[in-house]
Chain A
Amino acid sequence: MSWVEVDRLSVKAGAATLLSDVTLSIEAGTWCTIIGPNGAGKTTLVEAVAGLRRVASGSVQIAGQAIGDLNERERARLVSLVPQHPQVPAGMTVRDYVALGRVANHGVLRAPNAGDHQVVESVLERLSLESFAQRDVATLSGGERQRMVLARALAQSTMVIVLDEPTTGLDLRHQMELLELLKTEVADCGLTIIATLHDLTLAGQFADRLVLLDQGVVVVDGPARDVVRSRELSEHYGMNLRVIDVDGSDVIVPVRH
């Protein structure tokens, strides 16, 4: 069985259907990116995988456990979230913020133990944040802040990380840095990543697998190389998309007629 199993998931908001009968199987240690036009339901899907949405029908299972049956703390040990617009409370140090990732482990009544501190320090180091550790989070630039939010998710030590548009607000260099970082984590630690990205080229270059979502329904689901070349991609984006091979990597460009 796959590490993450989404089985006929439907999510509604009032009368509107946000997701309809979505089924996905994601292997451990792979990177799956959800793509699709605006309003496709990408954010809803990843939030549902993280257990933050009320499900109308269907289920999400991680490591064989139905996350709908778990409480927040149990769920937080399986999956962590990097939201698109994280709320970063001013007055906290970077270290304390990253340490929030350990709350699932030690609980809200106990202080972090030596093991927790070690995890936090190692994550800060891996993400080059040690020099910022004592600074107020409000003083960080966009790129640094995004790294910090990722650090918090990594500190949670879950096998699955869900990221919603992690490149939001970052310049190109920081976008690449962040994605390379994630790729390394997948390679070194066997992390399973489920992300949404709007940049098709980056989506194609970094993911093992792409899922095209449109209006709450899975249109295409397969290896990245195949999905980017699929006819459905242009159809659902409503434009003429071409794939160009540059030094062995796929670049997807819209072409005007």
Chain B
Amino acid sequence: MRAGPPTEQRVAFVTGVTVVGLVVAMVCGLVVGPTSIGTWRVVGDVFSHVGIGHSTLTGLQSTIIWQLRAPRMVLGLLAGAMLAVAGGTYQGVFRNPLADPYLLGVAAGAGLGATIAIVDVGSGVSTPTWTPLLAFGGAMIAVACTWLIGGKGLRSNAATLILAGVAVSALLTSAQTFLQQQSSANSITHVYLWLLGSLASADWQSVLLVVPYVAVCTFVCVLSGRALDAMSVGEDESRSLGVRVSQVRLIVIAASSLGTAAIVSAVGLIGFVGIIVPHIVRLLVGTSYRRILPISVIFGAAFLVFCDTIARTVMAPSELPLGVVTAVIGAPVFVVILSFRRGSVR
């Protein structure tokens, strides 16, 4: 691929391939699994739900498809989309290629919240009610603290926010470590497994919980693409261009953090997607966030569902941790594309 700003044709091509990839990933999410159910029988079952023909699946197979695989696939789409677009948005706001959705304390806050739920509330047992709630609350409180410390005022800039995020994260992580080392081995295992991140506990209830947050926040993030492009010339210059930098930053960070917090409370800390998917997309379609963000939504969704399909199938009847699969697949893909492009990363 030649270097230089991408042509409209290339962008259209990449978008098309990504959408096809999404459809394939969704199909795999329904069709592939440790219990083999014929592809065409699954397709037939899908059609039967919309009134065309009748299903040949047994009750158990239908349950597996619609109560286990389908909500997991949908949650994977939502999580992949949200994490990817939040990561891309953060990279744009902070003009920093190392930004990921957990940068401003979301991970540390959620981890502390989950630890409190597991260690104190559940006395060693992970309760389905409190862990997501406290994780969500912890994440939002952490981001709010970071904003209060580093984000307010005319002279605040990206660097002070990042530093505030580092400080808040360090503090909350140390609190979490303190709680963990005071508690039993059982709790430590629970917390560790929660932190690893997994789609395995997905059900339609958690999907419904997460959908409104992800829908609204993804929408806001994608809309911010033009503003982020304008902000790429630096804060003073973008102010002189008429960009209301502080306002844009607040809205964008709020949306990214809220959506990420919702995802984290449902699935734990899935790493790698938020930082790598926007970079892969950037290598393919150039540095404009107007293009990177919407394509990251699709790419992230497809990528995570694809990885989860592998995670839940290859080591059956056990599962691989999702974070392992995303890294093992994502890193080589990134390296391959990087070596082709040798472009610049903004």
When distances are taken between beta carbons in the complex, the residues of chain A under 8 Å from B229 are: 92, 96, 100
Q: By the criterion CB–CB under 8 Å, are B233 and A86 in contact?
A: yes
Residue B316, interface by CB 8 Å:
no
Residue B245, interface by CB 8 Å:
yes
Q: By the criterion CB–CB under 8 Å, are A83 and B237 in contact?
A: yes
Residue B223, interface by CB 8 Å:
yes
Q: How far is the CB of B286 from chain A (nearest CB, A)?
A: 6
Residue B154, interface by CB 8 Å:
yes
Q: Which of A71-79, A165-173, A201-209 contacts B (4 or more CB under 8 A)?
A: A71-79
- Interface residue SS majority, chain A: loop
Q: Which of A89, A108, A156 contacts B287 (CB 8 A)?
A: A89
Q: Count chain B CB atoms within 10 A of each CB in A47, A73, A92 and give the residue with the most.
A: A92
A49-83: CB near B (< 8 Å → 1, else 0) gives 01110100000000000000001110111011101
Closest residue of B by beta carbon distance from A50: B240
Q: Which of B224, B245, B288 contacts A96 (CB 8 A)?
A: B288
Q: How far is the CB of B292 from chain A (nearest CB, A)?
A: 10
Closest residue of A by beta carbon distance from B225: A108
Report the Cα distance A66→B122, complex, angstroms.
59
When distances are taken between beta carbons in the complex, the residues of chain A under 8 Å from B236 are: 47, 52, 81, 83
**Mind listing 14 A-B residue pairs with CB under 8 Å?**
A52-B236, A76-B240, A76-B241, A81-B236, A87-B232, A87-B237, A89-B287, A89-B346, A96-B229, A100-B230, A100-B233, A100-B241, A103-B226, A135-B4
Q: By the criterion CB–CB under 8 Å, are A108 and B233 in contact?
A: no
Q: By the criterion CB–CB under 8 Å, are A136 and B242 in contact?
A: no
Closest residue of A by beta carbon distance from B230: A103
Q: By the criterion CB–CB under 8 Å, are B232 and A73 in contact?
A: no
Q: By the criterion CB–CB under 8 Å, are B5 and A93 in contact?
A: yes
A91-B286, A91-B344, A92-B288 as given contacts; A86 in contact with B248, CB under 8 Å: no
Q: Which of A47, A83, A108 contacts B243 (CB 8 A)?
A: A108
Residue A90, interface by CB 8 Å:
yes
Report the Cα distance A103→B245, complex, angstroms.
13
Report the Cα distance A83→B343, complex, angstroms.
27
Report the Cα distance A103→B230, complex, angstroms.
8
Q: How far is the CB of A207 from chain B (nearest CB, A)?
A: 22
Q: Which residues of B contact A (CB under 8 A)?
A: 3-5, 154-155, 223-224, 226-227, 229-230, 232-234, 236-237, 239-245, 248, 286-288, 343-344, 346
When distances are taken between beta carbons in the complex, the residues of chain A under 8 Å from B343 are: 91
The 4 A-B residue pairs with the shortest CB-CB distance, nearest first, are A76-B242, A104-B242, A91-B287, A108-B227
Q: By the criterion CB–CB under 8 Å, are B237 and A72 in contact?
A: no
Residue A253, interface by CB 8 Å:
no
A-side interface residues, number (CB < 8 Å)? 37
Q: By the criterion CB–CB under 8 Å, are B242 and A75 in contact?
A: yes
Q: How far is the CB of B11 from chain A (nearest CB, A)?
A: 13
Q: How far is the CB of B116 from chain A (nearest CB, A)?
A: 39
Report the Cα distance A111→B226, complex, angstroms.
8
Q: Count chain A CB atoms within 10 A of each CB in B227, B229, B234, B240 and give the residue with the most.
A: B240
Report the Cα distance A152→B230, complex, angstroms.
12
When distances are taken between beta carbons in the complex, the residues of chain B under 8 Å from A79 are: 240
Closest residue of A by beta carbon distance from B232: A89
Q: How far is the CB of A119 from chain B (nearest CB, A)?
A: 14
Report the Cα distance A109→B224, complex, angstroms.
7
Q: How far is the CB of A44 from chain B (nearest CB, A)?
A: 12
Closest residue of B by beta carbon distance from A96: B288
Q: Count chain A CB atoms within 10 A of each CB in B155, B223, B229, B245 and give the residue with the most.
A: B229
Q: Count chain B CB atoms within 10 A of each CB in A54, A72, A92, A138 and give the residue with the most.
A: A72
Report the Cα distance A71→B242, complex, angstroms.
8
Q: How far is the CB of B281 from chain A (nearest CB, A)?
A: 13
Report the Cα distance A90→B227, complex, angstroms.
17
Q: By the criterion CB–CB under 8 Å, are B5 and A101 in contact?
A: no
Closest residue of A by beta carbon distance from B290: A111
Residue A219, interface by CB 8 Å:
no
Q: By the criterion CB–CB under 8 Å, are B237 and A81 in contact?
A: yes
Q: By the criterion CB–CB under 8 Å, are A92 and B5 in contact?
A: yes
Report the Cα distance A152→B240, complex, angstroms.
11
A99-130: CB near B (< 8 Å → 1, else 0) gives 01101100011010000000000000000000
When distances are taken between beta carbons in the complex, the residues of chain B under 8 Å from A77 are: 242
Q: How far is the CB of B251 from chain A (nearest CB, A)?
A: 11
Report the Cα distance A162→B202, complex, angstroms.
57
A136-B5, A138-B344 as given contacts; A72 in contact with B244, CB under 8 Å: yes
Q: How far is the CB of A219 from chain B (nearest CB, A)?
A: 27
